[in-house]
Chains A and B, each alone.
Chain A
Amino acid sequence: MDLSIYIGGKKLVNPVGVASGTFGYGSEYEKLVDFTGLGALYTKTVTLKSRSGNKCPRIIETPSGMLNSIGLANVGVDRFISEKLPLLEQAGCALIPNIAGFTEYEYAAILKRLEASHLPWGYEINISCPNVSHGGFTFGTNPAMVEHLTAKLRRITEKPLIIKLTPNVTDIRGIAQAAENGGADAVSCINTLVGMVIDTKTKKPVLGNITGGLSGPAIRPVGVASVYRVKRAVTIPVIGLGGIMTADDAIQYFLAGASAIQIGTGNFVDPGIPQKVLAGIKDYCEHEGMKTIGDFHQFIE
C-alpha cells in the first residue's frame, strides 16, 4: 500500500493534512501532535500586513459545528517569514502556507516574499476575501477574477499552487475550472459556509462580526457533494475538507473524488484526529484491497 500522492509533480507522503486556521502556525500544537505523521500542514492565512481580527466574541458552537469570525487575524507575511516559518524548519512534514490578499497585487506581493524561503512545499490560496479594487466582490465568487489571479500567481511560482474554493457561490464547478485554466495544480474545497446565530435574550447576533463561517461535521455533506461535482469538472487533483472527524468521513471524500483531505475543526475537538484518520484509512485500504488513493477513484461514474 502506498498512500502518497502527487500535486503539481510534488509528492506528499500521505493524504491527510491539517486545515488552514485550525492549526495556527503549527508550533501551538507541537507538544500534542507528532508532525511527522502529517501529510501536510496548511498554516493560518497570512496577509500582506498584520491583522488584529474581528470584534469579540469570535466563535460560537452550533449543532455539530461552530461558527467563527476570526477575521484573518495574523502576524503579516514578514513576521510569518522571520518568526513563524523558522519554527517549522524541523517539522518533518510538507508546509503549505495559505495566503490571502485584498487586491491581486497583495496576493502577488505575499507570494513573491514567500518564494525567497526554501521552506514552503507549495501554497494554498484563500480566495474567500473581498477584492477591494473590484467593488468588494469576493474573489472566489467570480470565475474571471479567479482565472486572472491564478494565472498571475502561476507566473511567480513553480511550486504547487492550490486554490481553496468557497462554497458560498452559485456553481462551484465554474470556479474550479477557472482555477484550472489559470494554471492551478489543485483545488481544495470547501472553506466555511456563511452562517449566523442570534441570541434570543439580547435579540442580537452572538458574533461580534454578526455573521461567521460554519465548519465541522454539520457541513460534511456539503463538502462531499462539492468534491463530487468539482472532480467531474476538472482534471487536476481535488483536496477535500469540511467536517472530517473520522476515517469513514475521509473515505467518503476519497470516494467522491478527493486525492487528499484536510482536517479543520476536528483538530480542536481532538488533536489526535489526523493520526487516527490516517490509521483508519490504512485499515480500510487493507480490508478493501486498495493499494493507492487512486484506487478510490475507480468507483467514480
Chain B
Amino acid sequence: MKQIQAKVTGNNQIAKDYYKLVFSWEPPPDTGPGDSYPDFPNPQPGQFITIRVSETTVPLLRRPFAFSGYNAETGEASIIYLKRGKGTEILAGKCPGEYIDIIGPLGNYLKKPENKQKPVLVAGGIGLGPLLYFSSMLDQWQIPHLFIFGARTARYVPDMNSLKNVAICTDDGSKGFAGTVADFLNNFEEKELEHTMLYCCGPLPMLKACHGFATEYDLECYVVMEQIMACGVGACMGCTIKLKKPQGYARVCTEGPVFKSRDIAWT
C-alpha cells in the first residue's frame, strides 16, 4: 500500500457512461532527487485503489475503484468506471498528463484456481473491471474459462473482443442473450457444472442470485463486494458487511473485497 501521484496516460469512453482510466506509477517531475516509485507493489485482480478526485471538499472522500488491468512492463494500470455522480464526473474530465492522488493496491484478491477447477466469471455493470483483469491472469496461467457479462442494454456493453469465451446478456435482449446473467446461468445442465467455480462482481441483486445458484448446485463461489468507504485502509470500521456467525462484521476494504459467497449473511 502506497500513496502516490500517478500520471494519467489515457481516459476514454468505452460504452455509454463507462470510461477506462489508464495511469502509470510515474511521479510528477521535480518531486525530489531520484524520486520514483520503484517498489510500488504489483496489483492483483480484485484489489483496488482510492482516488482523491479533487482538492475541494465536495466531493470529500476518496473514491474506490478496482484494477481492470496491469502491465508490469510499462507499469501502467487501469480502472473501468461508471460516470454516475459528482466524483466520477470529475474523474471523467481528467486528461492525459494530469496527475491523480491514489492509494493502493488495497484489499485482498482473487487467487489462482486449482488444476481441475473450471472458472466461470460473472460480471455485471461496474463489476466488469476486476473480472477483466482476472480473466487476463487466467489467460496467462492458461486456464480456460467462460466470461459472462450482463448489462441493461447494448449501449452499456463495451468492446469485449479481447476475451476468448464470452457470453453477453442484456436485460432487453438488444445484444447477446436476452435476460439476466442469473437467467443465463440457469440454462446450464447440471452435469456441465462439475468443478465449476464462480467468480462474481456486480450489483448486489446479481451477486445474491449467483450465490443462490452456487448454493443450489453446491459450487464454490467468490464474490467481490462493495461498500461505501471512508479510509479504505481498515482504520474507520465504516465499510463493513455482515458475515455469518461466528465471524460477524468484516471490513470490505481489508478482509475483502473478495469473500466466499457462503460466508456472507445475505439479507
Contact = CB atoms under 8 A, between A and B. Distances in A.
Contacts of B232: 268
Interface in A73-100: 73
A64 B57 CA distance: 5
Contacts of A235: none
Interface residues on B, range: 20 to 34
Nearest to A206: B228
A23 B235 CA distance: 5
Contacts of B60: 61, 64-66, 216-217, 265, 269
Interface stretch (B12-20, B216-224, B236-244): B236-244
B2 A24 contact: no
Nearest to A64: B57
A205 interface: no
B123 to A, nearest CB: 23
Contact of A28 (B61, B231, B241): B231
Interface string A30-70: 01100000000000100000001100111111011110101
Contacts of A66: 60-61, 230
B234 A61 contact: no
Given A28-B231, A269-B52, A56 B58 contact: no
Given A57-B227, A268-B61, A68 B238 contact: yes
Nearest to A217: B57
Contacts of B254: 28
B249 A73 contact: yes
A4 interface: no
A58 B229 CA distance: 9
Given A21-B236, A64-B60, A216-B60, A267 B3 contact: no
A130 interface: no
A162 B249 CA distance: 31
Tell me what chain A mostly uses at the interface: helix, strand, loop, or mixed: loop
Interface residues of A, number: 35
A245 B57 contact: yes
A29 interface: yes
Nearest to A71: B237
A32 to B, nearest CB: 5
A174 interface: no
A272 interface: yes
Given A53-B237, A58-B238, A59-B236, A270 B231 contact: no
Contacts of B236: 21-22, 24, 59, 68, 70, 268
Contacts of A53: 237, 240, 249
Contact of B2 (A21, A29, A32): A32
Interface string A1-43: 0000000000000000000011110001101100000000000
Contacts of B227: 56-57
B90 interface: no
B62 to A, nearest CB: 7
Nearest to A218: B57
A267 B237 contact: no
A73 B237 contact: yes
Interface string B83-122: 0000000000000000001010000000000000000000
Contacts of B163: none
Nearest to B230: A268
Contacts of B241: 56
A24 B249 CA distance: 16
B193 interface: no
Contact of B52 (A29, A267, A270): A270
B176 interface: no
A271 interface: yes
A269 B62 contact: yes
B235 A59 contact: no
A265 B59 CA distance: 13
A226 B241 CA distance: 36
Nearest to B252: A56
Contacts of A24: 231, 233-237
Contacts of B160: none
Name, among B58, B233, B237, B248, the residue most crowded by chain A CB atoms within 10 Å (CB to CB).
B237
B152 to A, nearest CB: 18
A73 B249 CA distance: 10
A29 B103 contact: no
A272 B235 contact: no
Given A24-B236, A28-B234, 10 more contacts: A28-B254, A29-B233, A32-B103, A52-B248, A57-B228, A58-B238, A64-B57, A65-B57, A217-B57, A217-B60
30 contacts: A24-B231, A24-B236, A24-B237, A28-B254, A29-B233, A29-B235, A31-B1, A32-B3, A32-B103, A32-B233, A44-B237, A53-B249, A56-B242, A58-B240, A61-B61, A66-B60, A66-B61, A66-B230, A68-B230, A70-B236, A70-B237, A70-B238, A73-B249, A217-B60, A267-B231, A268-B61, A268-B232, A269-B60, A269-B61, A271-B103
Q: Which 6 A-B pairs have the closest CB atoms?
A: A24-B235, A59-B238, A28-B235, A64-B57, A73-B237, A28-B234
